[in-house]
Structures are given as structure tokens and as C-alpha cells.
Chain A
Amino acid sequence: GQNIDQPTEMTATEGAIVQINCTYQTSGFNGLFWYQQHAGEAPTFLSYNVLDGLEEKGRFSSFLSRSKGYSYLLLKELQMKDSASYLCAVRGRDSNYQLIWGAGTKLIIKP
């Protein structure tokens, strides 16, 4: 079967760094996406990885290891507005372009 695993909830302190992990088992692989979703709002695209390695975009970075079926999202210099759910989604090669979604990690930032 196809599956995406993420921690349900994480807590971090304002100004600190947090790493949100995502592991996946899919039928083939054709890209991994991270989205941010504030409560009651739609998901907002953060990053895309298709090759192994680190993609950096400001305070946010995303890492991919295809051989391990593993990705992480790294958030630096945490701000209160980063309190949100972070969704990992994988496009499998055989899934006709459909994304397989994790349930999301709720990140709580404390002062």
C-alpha cells in the first residue's frame, strides 16, 4: 500500500529551529511537496523536492533522500506565525499525477 507518515504534533520555542520529518512508501516516486496550512485556511505551497539533497528557501529548507523514503522540513528562527499544520505529499510515478497526502504535523510555537 501507499503511506505517508508524519508526527501528529510538535512544540517548539520562538526563535528556535524545528525539524519535521516525513517518511513515505509509494508506488514509484515523482516528487515530494511540503505545504503549510493555518487553521481554517487552505494549504499553501512551501517546497518541492524531486532529487536528493537540500532545497533552501529563506527560513525554510526541505531535504529529500529517495533511497530512504525520507524527507524533512527545517524551519529556522521560528516566529509565532509559523504555528500551523505542515503537510507532506508525494506524487507516485504510477499514481496518474495524484498526490498522496500525510495527515499533517501540527506545530505549536511557544514564546
Chain B
Amino acid sequence: DTGVSQDPRHKITKRGQNVTFRCDPISEHNRLYWYRQTLGQGPEFLTYFQNEAQLEKSRLLSDRFSAERPKGSFSTLEIQRTEQGDSAMYLCASSLESSGTSDTQYFGPGTRLTVL
């Protein structure tokens, strides 16, 4: 148990609907990352936060995707007007960035999204 939790674990939706996923990181971790993964591929970076600040967003990410981390603790990822190509596993990870640490990312169990 890495301590990162995600909700829901599975989501089935119809094309055009909006979906929101939640991630609760390990409590003392100041960085939080969102990734997308499809079968046979490594995780694809979407965005990351340092505390409540969103520091980077993938240039490949469409404007239908938005993420927040309002109080520097949990984060939400919203996908608007879902498309069948959005079907994937959405992974959240957290890490502790400080001097002398490896800043290792620990992953939650993921949310599997299926868009019909």
C-alpha cells in the first residue's frame, strides 16, 4: 500500500459526458502528478503540481482536460466532452521534493475510464 488513493477505480461514461477523478496523495508529499496510460505503453505525463501550484501541463493535453489542487492536498482531474480516445487508465502519483531525497514518485491504483 503506497498510500496514494484514487476514486473512482472504474468509470464508464458515454461520449460527450464530463467526468471527474479524485486523487489523495501521501500526506507529507508536496508534488502530485497525473498520467494517462494505454495498453503496452509507459505512463504519459499530463500535468503536475507543487503544493497548490500547477507548474507544468503537457503540450499534448487538449483544453478539455483540467486539473486542480486547491489546498495543496487532494487533486481533481476533469475531462469535458469525453471522446472514445480518452479511454485509458488515469494514474496519479505523489512525491516529496526536498534536498537530499530522490523525489521518487509513488502511484495510486488508477482510475480506468471507458468511453462508450
Whether chains A and B associate is yes
Is A96 engaged at the interface, CB distance under 8 Å to the other chain? yes
Look across to chain B and name the residue whose beta carbon is closest to the beta carbon of A104.
B42
A98 vs B44: C-alpha distance when bound (angstroms): 11
- Inter-chain contact total with CB atoms closer than 8 Å: 52
Q: Is the interface of B mostly helix, strand, loop or mixed?
A: loop
Partner of A50, one of B2, B97, B102, B107: B102
- Enumerate B87-107 residues with CB–CB distance to A below 8 Å: 91, 97, 102-107
Is A89 engaged at the interface, CB distance under 8 Å to the other chain? yes
Annotate A20-61 by CB proximity to B: 1 below 8 A, 0 otherwise: 000000000001010100001111110010100000000000
A4 vs B42: C-alpha distance when bound (angstroms): 10
Residues of B within 8 A of A104 (CB): 40-42
Residues of A within 8 A of B105 (CB): 33, 45, 99
**A interface residues (Cβ-Cβ under 8 A, vs B):** 4, 31, 33, 35, 40-45, 48, 50, 87, 89, 91, 96-99, 101-104
